[in-house]
A and B are shown apart, each in its own frame.
Chain A
Amino acid sequence: AQTVTQSQPEMSVQEAETVTLSCTYDTSESDYYLFWYKQPPSRQMILVIRQEAYKQQNATENRFSVNFQKAAKSFSLKISDSQLGDAAMYFCAYRTGANSKLTFGKGITLSVRP
């Protein structure tokens, strides 16, 4: 079974600092996509970043970058220069072509201290 694990339910970061959110997954597939979604208290789920398993280069989107370790099945999200607007629930998700379902982790609530 495909699983996505986000072991930390909550994290806190000082504004302007860097924080890393961890995510591990379990799969026997070789081709898959990984995603990080952000859901602020206003509730709309927003795609932050995505990574294709075949690409060795880690994806980056402005202040957001991932550390993709395929052998370790790890997909962590680094947020640099944290801003108050980064406060949200972050979900790691995974999908393969063999299964059209997005498998989500339990999510992590990130708070940003001014």
Chain B
Amino acid sequence: DTEVTQTPKHLVMGMTNKKSLKCEQHMGHRAMYWYKQKAKKPPELMFVYSYEKLSINESVPSRFSPECPNSSLLNLHLHALQPEDSALYLCASSQEPSGSIRETQYFGPGTRLLVL
């Protein structure tokens, strides 16, 4: 079973709103990731959590705030976003800790975000 779930599927928010994206996996994976993907482009890494600790932040603006409450759950809190932040936000997880050569990432279905 390689299921990663994400909610909501779609989200529309204004530039002054605060919202959160949620990602869950129940596979016992020890690393979780947030990616941003624009249409017809490859995913861009935003954050990596390994053993519930933030291990990589790809210089993402502070209006994006990740949180890993436990080993199965990953949140992305959004505040004061800009229209250019509209994109598909993908969550992924991997069994091996981030940095392991054997790491294979499994992706969720994504949240389509539109910022007005």
Residues of A participating in the B interface, judged by any CB pair closer than 8 Å:
31-33, 35, 37, 42-47, 50, 89, 91, 95-97, 100-102, 104-107, 109
CB pair A32 B101 closer than 8 Å: yes
C-alpha gap A89/B88 in the complex (Å): 15
Chain B residues near A105 (CB-CB < 8 A)? 42
Count of chain B residues near A, Cβ 8 A: 26
Chain A residues near B48 (CB-CB < 8 A)? 100
Instruction: Specify the main secondary structure of chain A where it touches its partner.
Output: strand
CB pair B42 A106 closer than 8 Å: yes
Among B12-20, B21-29, B69-77, B103-111, the stretch in contact with A: B103-111
| Further pairs besides A101-B56, A107-B40: 4, Cβ < 8 Å | A43-B88, A43-B112, A44-B110, A109-B40
With contacts A100-B48, A100-B98 taken as known, whether A45 is within 8 angstroms of B104 at the C-beta atoms is no
C-alpha gap A96/B108 in the complex (Å): 23
With contacts A102-B105, A107-B42 taken as known, whether A45 is within 8 angstroms of B90 at the C-beta atoms is yes
CB pair A97 B109 closer than 8 Å: no
With contacts A44-B109, A97-B99, A100-B98 taken as known, whether A35 is within 8 angstroms of B40 at the C-beta atoms is no
Chain B residues near A44 (CB-CB < 8 A)? 107-110
